[in-house]
Structures are given as structure tokens and as C-alpha cells.
Amino acid sequence: MIHRTLALCCGVVALHLALPAAAKDQAGSILIRAGKADSLNHALAVQFAASVAGALSGAYTLDVQESQGSIENVMDAAKAPANYLFTTGANVIAEARRGQKPFAPDPRYRDIRALLPIPPQTVQWVVRQDSGITSLAGLAGQNVITGAKGSVSERVTGEVFQAIGILHQVQIMDIDTAAAPAALKAKQVSGFAIAGPYPLPALVELGGATPIRLLGLPAPQLKKVVAADDSVAAETVPKSAYPGLDADVTALALPAGIYTTTRMSEATAYAITKAFWSQRAALVARNPPWQAVSLAALATLGVRLHRGALRYYREARAAVPKALR
């Protein structure tokens, strides 16, 4: 069962789920912490909760609550009740386990377990097809929008430009990413970076009006950036994501997942995991970014699977990396 209030979040109609405080301790009640109400992960958690609740036919009540983000979610995991789910990236869990600031050393972070991946924030580098630019190195000497200072797209793009040796040869434009598609269409800039789960509506619209090209990262530079930044991983954007693309493109993404702790029962973790994968196709039909979530993405979770989730993946004959077992 889900208690719902309609809200518009991240370009999709989301359901804000709320329960009386007393319900949180009931056996069939599951608390999900997933960032601020206007964040990507909160929207994804709401979609996930609605899908799982429907598949379980009211056996569980899912309560999606706002949080300050991944760091707070992981901190709360140390003292959370058994039926606690949260969204974060594997790198944040690794920082907590190392006792790296802002985390204080706490052995309970070792109790965190993974259930499943959610759509990552993929950094996508966009140029016009008629620009003649066919690689990221081709952006040297060009005007490029990389995103707001401190944003995912700005940070990762800076790392990539450094890795391929063009960081000081690119003219970075101080223009908001929201204005980037129009600027590219008008040939005011040569390219831009944008982060989010593909397919991004802004790029679908742009590609329908102006032939675009996504730029990929060559394998040597890809390996270099991933080795230097444990928050990113390779992500393939399929050519079907946007109009006019003629090939799949290897980009970088910030993987994320839904996690819990060893305090959750095996039966509950199994039921949630199985319910999600049974509904994935329907979820993709309603919310296309979920197409980026596949069994192959399990490797990005970074920590061991909950024994209930592992039971499901074994039944599904999924290839589970040794580090997750």
C-alpha cells in the first residue's frame, strides 16, 4: 500500500509517499531515504517504490522520505531499523567504511548491503553533426559549456579534459546547462556537457531538431579517469537513446543503487529485489531512464549483496561478480 501526494519532480510526475511515524516499525513497512524532494534520486526512489508496491499487492507499505542526500543516507544506515532502504553511490559507502570525513569510524557501516542498481547520472558530451568534431580531443580551441561550478558535468568533464591533455586549450563558457541546447543549435558554442540518466528529454528534443553527435572517451583515457576517481564508471549510451545517433558511445557515469543493511530479513530483501526485476519492463515503459538498469550493472554496486538479493540473482542465473557475493 502507498499513501500518495502528487508532485512534479525532475520532469516526471512523482508520487510523494508518507506514513504516520508509528507505522515505520510495523513488519510490513519499509522506509526509503532518497535525497531532497526535487532531486533525481528521490524521483527514482518514488518510481521504484510505486513499482515494487504494486508487484507485492500491498504486502508492504513503502514510505519514501526526503533526506539531505547520499551522505546522510549512509550515516543513518548505521543506526537504522531493519526495514530501511536508501540510495547512494558505492564510493560514499567506501568513504564511510574508511572513516573518511565527514564520516566518523563506525564498524556498523560494514553491515551495508546492496540490492539493485538505479539509473546513473551519465555525463554526455554533445556536438552538432555538422561541426566536424568527432572526438573529445577535437574540442581543443573550441567554446564549450561544461555546467555549473561544482556540478557533476563540470567536475567529470574537467577530469576528462585533464586526462586527454586539453584542459587549458578549451574555452569554458559560463552558461547554464539549461541554455546549452539552444546555444548549440544556434552555433553559439561548439559543444556542451550534460549529466543525467539517458535518454534526457532535452537531448531528445534537440536531436529531433538538429542532428547531434555524442562524443565518447577512448579506452586508455577512460581507464585513467576511472582509476583516479572512484565515483565514476564507464557507461554505454546506446545509439537508440537519441535521434540520429549512428553508434553506441562510451561515456562516464556516477553509478548509484538501492542499499539496505544486514538487519533486513532475507525474505524481505528477496521479495523487494524480485518485485523490482519482475516490473522492470513496465517501469521502463513509464520512465525510460530505467532502461540503463540491467543485470550487467550489478558490478557498479561496489559492496556485497544482501543474502536475500543474492538468492534472487542466483535463481535468475545472473552473473554476480565475486566481490558482491
10-residue mean pLDDT series, the chain (325 residues): 32 29 54 92 93 89 93 95 95 95 96 97 97 96 94 95 95 93 96 95 95 94 91 94 93 96 96 96 95 94 97 97 94
pLDDT of residue 15: 27
Q: How far is CA 35 from the centre of its chain?
A: 12
Q: What is the DSSP letter of 126?
A: E
Among 321, 261, 320, 266, residue whose Cα is nearest residue 88:
261
Domain 124-254, what fold? D-Maltodextrin-Binding Protein; domain 2 (3.40.190)
Among 255, 236, 252, residue whose Cα is nearest residue 303:
255
Task: State the span(s) of the chain assigned CATH 3.40.190.10.
Answer: 4-120+258-324, 124-254
* Distance of alpha carbon 200 from alpha carbon 197, whole angstroms: 6
pLDDT of residue 247: 92
pLDDT of residue 28: 82
Supply 284's cell numbers: 521502463
Q: Which CATH class is domain 4-120+258-324?
A: alpha beta
Supply 200's cell numbers: 534526457
Among 19, 12, 84, residue whose Cα is nearest residue 43:
12
* Distance of alpha carbon 57 from alpha carbon 298, whole angstroms: 26
Among 320, 265, 290, residue whose Cα is nearest residue 81:
265
DSSP 64-81: EE--S-HHHHHHHHTT--
pLDDT of residue 27: 56
Supply 223's cell numbers: 581507464
* Distance of alpha carbon 129 from alpha carbon 212, whole angstroms: 5
